[in-house]
Chain A
């Protein structure tokens, strides 16, 4: 099965829509290690990703996530 959103698209979204300066290899970092991270970005990401994959995602799961990698997995689950 193909991913709902590719890793490259996910990184583009983080960079262009949220404004985070991250590359694919940064996805596994914890949020504390992401420059300019704010937990409120999770709300924006949820809205953008729901629109992208056309299905509801779980906000509590987002809020529990430890890294961008976890978010990526949640979206592709």
Chain B
């Protein structure tokens, strides 16, 4: 790893010296990913000086992201760290700092530059100096309480203004209390009252993040527990930098994963090695009774790490075991070992064989109908990690060390699975994949695809989105890459806004079959326009492909459009690297091309029927009301 990180840093420095960073920006993400955190921070300082506007123009295929950083103090260190983190995740970043001390104006005035440039994320950094600059000298706890109340009202107002007028999301942070201020009070009773008032204010901030639209509040207190100082008094006093570089670096790391989650790039699968990762010892040599898990100090550490994996799985992360072992022995260990917290059912796939791990990981992704860029692979063997990193550059490789007590910290150092919101679908995801496996067996047993579908007893419900489905529908726009006609990612607020807007409709597609409910598996976004009904986007989860669901849904939408009096229905397709399979969806179902491969129109003459093997329940008004201009004459 050391040679990799220094080689990667040397290469990046070379690009910087040659003035080639913008031109070769496609190399930057993989180089940063190969670096240690320390080297990546050094590289970030060079990247922050590169011509990122040029990089964006030269690499239109790389995702671009725009962040505005504002706040009370000097925040250059956050800008630099954020450029590095976003580049590490493969984005071409643009990170702008607003003028020093201008956050109240920038966020408070919808006519400000901050609103005009419509960034994907606005990060407003709050710190203790915002409060203590105004308490006066000498101060009492009451003074602090008064200023805290004023600041909270101010911050709430700014967040509300952003909710009304901003695009993207506003990120605020909790404000840790420095010892240097607490220690100015001499009695413990006052210190306790200060601490209580301070934490009440932080709790109210966090409540804002838990409830307000478009506002995320990051709790930075846990970042401080990782031996990062809160602030350096010299930097505070002489340069107005109230938060330390270390803390801002850790914060930037969190923000990088927040951007990933909001742009549909959160990872979905955790592929775990077994020997040395989930238990100690070598199963093949030591036997089921001989492995270390659940008893003894190291066994307890492995069991705790299993608990972390189980916790992730309970929130929708798919677990897979990828191990060089005999499959039967692995199944016996998972079934019979009394110390095991993870059991066979917790994994969606168990790949225990003697094939190279890259081969197994490729098969895993294919079998789950996902890309290698959905997978995080964790292994204690440096050799296996290197093999996977070399063969599968799109897969994140987490090298766990020798001490199982450190596995959890290593795995969770990056928030690869951070998501915007957990839905009921997430909690049931592992079970749904097991049902899927039962379907596959049924398919294998059926003589033909028709026989399979006829016996599957598919039912589809198509209905206007209900409030309880908004979060799941947003998640579908974020997670779905293949059956996604335009790949437009939408936050829950944006889905809600479309569901409520007159002339617009959001349809939830739910499916079930003899093996159980699939839950909400797709969405249709419709809008009435003068030229007719427009299908703004149409999405379907990869779990329910090839069941005729898309045909049934289109049939229902087209028939409803005709009944509502629309003259025609328009559809569009925006190609990405991953949605090639729906390129011909519209022409296949009778739409004529308007603009080859991009825009299509259906004249509502001959409409495709609902496939005979499934039952469709269309509920409520499927299409929005046609505006007078959209009606047939």
Contacts and interface: CB of A to CB of B under 8 A. Distances in A.
A28 interface: no
Contacts of B74: 40, 43
B239 interface: yes
A44 interface: yes
A22 to B, nearest CB: 12
A59 B45 contact: no
A60 B233 CA distance: 12
Interface in B225-259: 234-235, 238-239, 241, 245
A59 B16 contact: no
Contacts of B238: 59-60, 63
A32 interface: no
B489 interface: no
A19 B12 CA distance: 11
Interface string A15-31: 11111000000000000
A11 to B, nearest CB: 13
Given A36-B49, A40-B76, A15 B239 contact: no
Contacts of A59: 234-235, 238-239
Contacts of A66: none
Nearest to B9: A16
Given A36-B49, A40-B76, A19 B239 contact: no
A19 B46 contact: yes
B13 interface: yes
Given A40-B74, A40-B76, A43-B239, A15 B49 contact: no
Contacts of A74: none
B100 to A, nearest CB: 11
B181 to A, nearest CB: 21
A19 B245 contact: no
Given A40-B74, A40-B76, A47-B245, A19 B235 contact: no
Contact of B49 (A16, A19, A63): A19
A19 B46 CA distance: 5
Nearest to A56: B234
Contact of B13 (A16, A38, A43): A16
Select the residue from B13, B48, B74, B239 with max chain A CB neighbours within 10 A.
B239
B538 to A, nearest CB: 46
Contacts of B241: 43
Q: Chain A interface secondary structure, helix, strand, loop or mixed?
A: helix
Contacts of B13: 16
B235 A15 contact: no
A18 B74 CA distance: 18
Contacts of B235: 43, 59
B37 to A, nearest CB: 15
Interface residues of B, number: 17
B42 A17 contact: yes
Contacts of B16: 19
B17 interface: yes
Nearest to B244: A47
A59 B234 CA distance: 7
Nearest to B246: A47
Contacts of A47: 245
A19 B234 CA distance: 24
A44 B45 contact: yes
Interface string B573-591: 0000000000000000000
A38 to B, nearest CB: 8
B45 A15 contact: no
A17 B45 CA distance: 7
B45 A18 contact: yes
Select the residue from A19, A38, A59, A63 with max chain B CB neighbours within 10 A.
A19
Contacts of B77: 43-44
A43 B235 CA distance: 8
A13 B76 CA distance: 19
A36 B76 CA distance: 15
Interface in A32-60: 36, 38, 40, 43-44, 47, 59-60
A63 B74 CA distance: 15
B75 to A, nearest CB: 10
Contacts of A40: 74, 76, 239
A2 B189 CA distance: 54
Nearest to A20: B49
Interface string B316-329: 00000000000000
A22 B529 CA distance: 59
A18 to B, nearest CB: 6
Nearest to A44: B45
6 smallest beta-carbon distances between A and B, as pairs: A19-B46, A19-B49, A40-B76, A59-B238, A59-B234, A16-B13
Interface of B: 13, 16-17, 42, 45-46, 48-49, 74, 76-77, 234-235, 238-239, 241, 245
Given A17-B42, A43-B77, A59-B239, 16 more contacts: A15-B17, A16-B42, A17-B45, A19-B46, A19-B48, A38-B76, A40-B74, A40-B239, A43-B74, A43-B239, A43-B241, A44-B77, A47-B245, A59-B235, A59-B238, A63-B239
23 contacts: A15-B17, A16-B13, A16-B42, A16-B46, A17-B45, A18-B45, A19-B16, A19-B45, A19-B46, A19-B48, A19-B49, A40-B74, A43-B74, A43-B235, A43-B239, A43-B241, A44-B45, A44-B77, A59-B234, A59-B235, A59-B238, A59-B239, A63-B238
